[in-house]
Amino acid sequence: MGEAFRRSVVKTTELRGARIHITGVVQGVGFRPFVVGLANRLGLVGWVRNTSSGVDIEVDGDPEILESLRRALREEAPPLARIDQVQFEDARPGGFTRFEIVASQPIPGAFQPISPDVSICPDCLRELFDPDDRRFRYPFVNCTHCGPRFTIIRDIPYDRPNTTMAPYEMCSACSAEYHDLTDRRYHAQPVACPECGPQIWLEAGGSVLAERDEALQAVRRMLRDGKIVAIKGLGGFHLACDASNAGAVAELRRRKLRVDKPFALMAADMATVERHCLIDETARALLESRERPIVILPRRGDSTIATDTAPGQNTLGVMLPYTPLHALLLESGDSMPQVLVMTSGNLCEEPIATQNDEARRSLAGLADAFLMHDREIRTRCDDSVIRTFNGESYPLRRSRGYAPFPIKLPCETFPVLAVGGELKNTFCFTRGEYAFVSQHIGDMENFETLRSFEEATAHFEALFRVQPQAIAYDLHPDYMATRYALERAQAQGLPAVGVQHHHGHIAACMAEHRLSGERPVIGVALDGTGYGEDGAIWGGEFMLADYQGYRRLYHLAYVPMVGGEAAVRQPWRLALAWLKHADQPWDDDLPPVRAAPAETREILRRQLEFGLNSPLTSSMGRLFDAVSSLVGVRQVVNYEAQAAIELEAHLDPGERGVYPFAIDDQVIDPGPLIRAIVADVRGGARTESISARFHNTLAEIVLDVCLRIRQEHHLSDVALSGGVWQNMALLERAVRLLDRSGFMVYIHRGVPANDGGLSLGQAVVGICNLGGRLSSSVASRPTSVPH
C-alpha cells in the first residue's frame, strides 16, 4: 500500500474527533474541495458538507493535526471565500476510514451569505483561447474560481439543482471533472461545455440568423459596421455599439431616450484603457479585480472615443470583460472596435431586461439584433460603479460583483426590512450580525421598477430565510418605497419606523464602519433631496447623530424651489431664487436671467413673493445647480446631478481662491458667495476659476461648521454622507481640511454615499428605535415616532 494510504488510516484508539461549523461566504467558492485537499494533506478522515447555514465538517485525527486544521481553514481558505466564524467542538471519533464530500443538508430556517458573481479567471480565459482545449471559444466556460453565482441561484444550499443550471445534465467529461478532487471544476455548480451546456444565437426580426461561434462573428461584424446589438449577459442585457463611432453612439442615445447621461464602456484590455484614460494603481487593481466594476477614470485629451459617450464630462466609466462572452466579443482582429458602449439594456429608467421574451418586447425598437443565450438569469443585477479616493475604492453603485455580500453589523440583532429611497433604490434585510443590502434596483418612479423591487425582496426573504419583524422607510410620503412599506406593515401587522432621510445617510456611514453608536458623530449630510421633519426639502445638514436619533445643529439657508420639481429640471429657476435671496437684481447680463423667458420671470416673481408652488429647500445639491446656472454651464438638466457634475468638470485644480459666506444663528448663508460669483461673472472671470473657488468655499464651510460643533459638543468624529459627496473635488478638499484639523473622518467604502446606501442606515435606525442593541446610549431625539 502507498504512503498516502498509510498516512490516512489511523488507529481509532489514537484519534480524537471534532465537529466544525463554518459561516460566511463558503459555498460556490470551492470550499468543500479545499477542505478535502486539506484533510488529505494532513492525513485526516471524515466528511464535509454544505448546509443551509454554511459548511459542516466532522473529522478524526491526532489532536495536534486537528489544531493545524483549525488554523489552515482560515489561513489557507480559497480566494473567493470570506469566513466569518469557525466553530470547533470536540467530539468522539466517528470511526471514518477516508475523507469525502457528503450530500448537502437543508436546514429549515437556516441561512448563509451567498457569493456574488465572479469575473472569468485567468485559467478559464487561457482555456477559452486554446485551440486544443475542449472548451475552446465556449462562451460559458467557468470553474470553482469564477462564473455566475448570485444571478443563477434559486435557493440554498448552493448546489446545481438549486440553480438555473439544473436543466443542463452534465456530459460524461464534465461529470468526470465535477467529481475529480484534483480538478479545479470539482463541485463547480455551473460547469458546462459545448456538448452539454447553454448556447448562444443571433436573431433579428423574429428569425435566427446564426448560432454558436458564427453568431458571435456576425455580432462582431455588426458592431464594426455601426449597428446596435442587445447582448444577454450575466445579470441582464446590455445595448452595445462601437464607442468610437459617433453616429452609432448618437443613434443609441436617440433610441434609448438618453439625452446626456454617460454610457458605460467596455475595453478589450488594460492597454486599451490606458490609451483613453489616466490610471493609477488603485484604479488598475479595481479594473482587474474579480468584481470587475465600472471604474470612473479621467479621460485623456487624445482619446478617440466619441465625446457623446459622456457629454460635458472629463471622465469615462470603463470596465474590462468579465465573462467569456465579453472576451470573445472584444477579441482583437478583423478591425473589431476595442472599446464598446455597454449600457444597460432598457428603455430610459426602466429595469434592465433579463429574459429573452422580455428583451424581444422591450428592446425591439432599440437594437438592430439580439445576441441571445438560453441560460436563465434568475436575478437582475446591473454593473457596479466605483471611483477611487485616497488609494481605496469609493462606491457609486453597489451591484454585480459585490451584492449580495453582507455588511457586518456591530452586533447581532433582529430581522428588519428597510426599503430605501426613491432614487438609486436598494433595500436591506438584517439577520443576525449581517445586513444584506440588495443589488441596485433603480429609480422607483414607475410600475416596472416597483415590480422589480417586489420580486427582489421576495427572493432575498426566501434565500436568506428572513421574516422581517419590522419595516423601516423614508419619511417622504410620496415615495413608492414608503407606500410599499406602510401598506405591507399594515397588512402583516408589523411595526413601521419612519427614518429621516439624512439621519439614514449618516447612520449608513456609521454602520459600514461598525461604529458602536455609544458616542454621536458629527454628521455632514449633503445631497439633493431629503424630506425634512418641518416639511421642507433638506439637503445641507450638519447634525449630531447616532443610531437612535439626531439633532439638526446647522443647515444651509432655505430658498424657494420655484415651480417645485420644475426647479430640479431647470436650474435657472434656482439661480433666480438665490439671486433674490442675495439681493441681486435679475439683470439680463446674467446667464440664468437670459435663460428664463421674459413672461416666465414675471410669474416667478409673483411665486416668490407669495410662496406659490415654491417649497423651501436647504439642499446643497440645489445650490450646486444654481451656481452651475449662474456661471452659464447648465440651464436645463436631463439626468440627476448633471449641472453639478458638469460644474465640477470645469474646475481649475490650481485655483486656491475662496468666496465669503456667513453663519448666523445656526444657518449657513451663501448670500455673500452668490454676490461674489455675480461679481466674478460680470468681471469676466474664467468659469474654471469660479468653479474651483466655489468648491473651495464649500470645503471651508464644512470645516468651519465642524469646528464650531466640536467646540460646542466636544466631538471629533465626522461622517460624510449624501449624494453631494460623490463630487470628488469637494470630497478631497473637505477631507484634507478636516484631517489637518484633527478630525477622524469616516467616508463610505462599503455602500454608496448616495441613496444606494440609504437602506443600510434605515435598517440600523429602525432596529435601535424598536429596542435593538446596536447602540446603548443616545444624546439625541428619536428619528421619528414608530407607527
C-alpha cell at 39: 484533510
What pLDDT, on the 0 to 100 scale, is given for residue 5?
41
pLDDT at 2 over 70: no
How confident is the model over 613-658, as pLDDT tens digits?
A: 999 999 999 999 999 999 999 999 999 999 999 999 999 999 999 9
**How far is C-alpha 442 from the geometric centre of its chain's CA atoms?**
11
How confident is the model over 548-584, as pLDDT tens digits?
A: 999 999 999 999 999 999 999 999 999 999 999 999 9
What's the whole-number mean pLDDT along residues 332-338? 91
Q: What is the DSSP string of 618-678?
A: --HHHHHHHHHHHTTS-SS-SSTTHHHHHHHHT--TT-------EEETTEEE-HHHHHHHH
pLDDT at 718 over 70: yes
pLDDT at 33 over 80: yes
What pLDDT, on the 0 to 100 scale, is given for residue 773?
58
- The b/e string for 733-763 (b: 16+ C-beta within 10 A; e otherwise) is bbbebbeeeebebbbbebbbbbbbbbbbbbb
Contacts of 361 (CB under 8 A, 6+ apart): none
Instruction: Name the percent of the chain lying above pLDDT 90.
Output: 88
What's the whole-number mean pLDDT along residues 725-733? 98
What pLDDT, on the 0 to 100 scale, is given for residue 59?
96
What's the whole-number mean pLDDT along residues 287-305? 97
pLDDT at 784 over 70: no
What pLDDT, on the 0 to 100 scale, is given for residue 431?
94
Planar angle of CA 725, 726, 728, nearest 5 degrees: 90
What pLDDT, on the 0 to 100 scale, is given for residue 272?
98
pLDDT at 675 over 50: yes
Contacts of 586 (CB under 8 A, 6+ apart): 576, 579, 580, 593, 596, 601
How confident is the model over 500-519, as pLDDT tens digits?
A: 999 999 999 999 999 999 99
Question: Is 588 in a helix, a strand, or coil?
Answer: coil
pLDDT at 229 over 90: yes
Report the chain's terminal Cα–Cα distance, integer Å. Answer: 72
What's the whole-number mean pLDDT along residues 532-555? 97
pLDDT at 533 over 80: yes
Q: What is the DSSP string of 151-180?
A: TTB-SSS--GGGBTTTTSPPPHHHHHHHT-
Q: Which of 184, 196, 177, 194 is nearest to 138 (CA)?
A: 194
Q: With bands split at pLDDT 50, 70 and 90, how would you rate the model's confidence at 781?
A: very low
What pLDDT, on the 0 to 100 scale, is given for residue 774?
54
DSSP H helical segments within 464-590, as ranges? Answer: 480-492, 501-512, 566-569, 571-581
Q: With bands split at pLDDT 50, 70 and 90, how would you rate the model's confidence at 349?
A: confident
Q: Which of 98, 33, 26, 31 is nearest to 61 (CA)?
A: 98
Exposed/middle/buried for residue 519 (C-beta within 10 Å: 0-12, 13-18, 19+): middle
Residue owning grid cell 430581522 = 415
Name the pTM for this structure. 0.93
What's the whole-number mean pLDDT along residues 137-148? 96
What pLDDT, on the 0 to 100 scale, is given for residue 158?
85
Mean predicted lDDT score pLDDT of the chain: 94
Q: Which of 275, 276, 274 is nearest to 288 (CA)?
A: 274
What's the whole-number mean pLDDT along residues 65-82? 93
Amino acid at the residue 764 = V
Q: With bands split at pLDDT 50, 70 and 90, how would you rate the model's confidence at 79?
A: confident
How confident is the model over 589-605, as pLDDT tens digits?
A: 999 999 999 999 999 99
